[in-house]
């Protein structure tokens, strides 16, 4: 068997592909190997050139009208063929709702291991290790590979994209046999979201079970407005009370704002895992025993219905 070499990245989401190229570049340089991106789609030639600017040495381009939208079986057959032919050493896949099952199936076809949701990647003695949150946020597991290619899935915004540079690289156009899909998409409709991407917010004011009525979120909105921030919520308000469709936490949005204000959030470990990369965490909770205080920089024991309006007013004055 010939030796595997090269670092490859693939995501059906272009932004994650650029972020993975940023980290991929560092890994490839450490391993003194090449960095390649796999680009699948329709009329995407221009993007291939752009991927080189963002760090790729090679772009494997599969341009086909049948591949305009992500479809698991079709994309699987393409990637499986490429990997089987060119044998990369490392394969990073974007950890989206479509990307993760895709990676799991590809790893199964390739009979290799896959480390999901790596927020950190390192090269130690020529071998890749990944770090991921596990045990519901209670722990960080460091994981290594025992099979090739070494596959990992990478969440959005885990790594930074590079500044685009004028560099040269090779675009390899390929024609690949495409497998028939086993499922059919019959309808898509937009999520009833707030329309803002909370994962990119710099300041988040977030509420939990301590909020008595859905309408009271206005109290948080007032504070968020003063701070030019976004409003979020914990899982129970979405999944149990069905007030909202999204939430902050390990199973929802993982956020890393410079300021996270948790109001009436008890601080279960799954929630904390979703906010642990925040720069400053403020906790406002009427229960002095609430675990959120253990992970907060500033804590206030008090009723959010009293503290929030007072804080909004105080900040309004002091920021003038």
Partner 1 sequence: MKRIIVCLKQAVDVSQLKVDPKTSQLLTASAPRKISDFDKNALEEAIRIKEKLSQVEILTVTASAEDAKPVLREALAIGADKAYLISDPSFQNVDTSGTAYILTEAVKKIGEFDLILCGEASLDSFSGLVGSRLAELLKLPLITSVRKITLQDNTVIAERTLEDVYETVKAKMPALITVTREINQPRIPSLMMIMKASKKEIVTWTATDLGIQQEKIDAKIEVVEVLAPKIERKKIMITGENKEEIAEKLAKALIQEGVAGR
- Pick out residues in 106-135 that bind partner 1 (CB under 8 A): 107-109, 111-117, 129, 133-135
Nearest distance, CB of residue 32 and partner 1, angstroms: 24
Task: Let me know: does 267 contact 283? Beta carbons within 8 Å.
Answer: yes
Reduced to 3 states, what is the DSSP secondary structure of residue 28? helix
Nearest C-alpha neighbor of 30 from the set 79, 89, 112: 89
C-beta of 141 vs 218, nearer to partner 1: 141
Residue 127's beta-bridge partner residues? 124
CA pair distance 71, 68, nearest whole angstrom: 9
Please tell me whether residue 104 binds partner 1 under the rule CB under 8 A.
yes
Residue in this structure with the two tokens 């503290």, named with its chain if needed: 307
Please tell me whether residue 96 binds partner 1 under the rule CB under 8 A.
yes
Contact segment (CB under 8 A) with partner 1 among 30-38, 58-66, 169-177, 287-295 equals: 287-295
Site string for partner 1, 36-75 (x = CB under 8 A): ------------------------------------x---
φ, ψ (nearest 5 deg) of residue 65? -55, -30
Please tell me whether residue 239 binds partner 1 under the rule CB under 8 A.
yes
Q: Which 8-state DSSP code applies to residue 150?
A: E
Nearest distance, CB of residue 52 and partner 1, angstroms: 27
C-beta of 8 vs 145, nearer to partner 1: 145
Site for partner 1 in 141-180 (CB under 8 A): 141-147
Task: Let me know: does 284 contact 263? Beta carbons within 8 Å.
Answer: yes
Nearest distance, CB of residue 40 and partner 1, angstroms: 18
Site for partner 1 in 177-236 (CB under 8 A): 182-191, 193, 203, 227-228
Please tell me whether residue 296 binds partner 1 under the rule CB under 8 A.
yes
CA pair distance 289, 189, nearest whole angstrom: 42
Q: Which 8-state DSSP code applies to residue 200?
A: G
Nearest distance, CB of residue 239 and partner 1, angstroms: 6
- DSSP characters over 249-305: STTSB----SEEEEES----HHHHHHHTT-SEEEEEES-TT-GGGGG-SEEEES-HH
The residue within the footprint of partner 1, chosen from 173, 214, 279, 287 (CB under 8 A), is: 279
Please tell me whether residue 24 binds partner 1 under the rule CB under 8 A.
no
């Amino acid at each position: 068997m010939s030796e595997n070499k090269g670092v490859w990245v693939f995501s059906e989401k272009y932004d994650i592909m650029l972020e993975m190229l940023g980290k991929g570049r560092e890994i490839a340089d450490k391993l003194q190997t090449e960095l390649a991106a796999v680009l699948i789609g329709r009329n995407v030639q221009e993007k291939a050139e752009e991927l080189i600017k963002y760090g790729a040495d090679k772009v494997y381009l599969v341009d086909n009208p049948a591949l305009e939208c992500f479809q698991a079986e079709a994309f699987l057959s393409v990637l499986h063929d490429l990997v089987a032919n060119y044998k990369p050493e490392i394969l990073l896949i974007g950890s989206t709702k479509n990307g993760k099952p895709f990676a799991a199936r590809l790893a199964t076809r390739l009979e290799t291991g896959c480390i999901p949701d790596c927020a950190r990647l390192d090269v130690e003695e020529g071998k890749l290790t990944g770090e991921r949150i596990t045990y519901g946020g209670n722990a960080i597991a460091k994981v290594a590979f025992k099979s090739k290619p070494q596959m990992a899935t990478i969440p959005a915004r885990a790594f930074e994209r590079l500044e685009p540079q004028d560099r040269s690289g090779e675009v390899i156009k390929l024609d690949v046999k495409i497998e028939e899909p086993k499922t059919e998409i019959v309808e898509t409709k937009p999520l009833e979201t707030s329309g803002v991407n909370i994962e990119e917010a710099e300041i988040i004011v977030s509420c939990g079970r301590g909020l008595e009525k859905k309408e009271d979120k206005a109290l948080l909105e007032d504070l968020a407005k003063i701070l030019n921030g976004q409003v979020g919520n914990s899982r129970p308000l979405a999944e149990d009370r069905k007030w909202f469709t999204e939430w902050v936490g390990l199973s929802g949005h993982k956020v890393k704002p410079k300021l996270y204000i948790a109001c009436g959030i008890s601080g279960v470990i799954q929630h904390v895992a979703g906010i642990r990369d925040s720069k400053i965490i403020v906790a406002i909770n009427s229960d002095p025993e609430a675990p959120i205080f253990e992970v907060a920089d500033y804590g206030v024991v008090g009723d959010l219905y009293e503290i929030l309006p007072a804080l909004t007013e105080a900040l309004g004055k002091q920021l003038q």
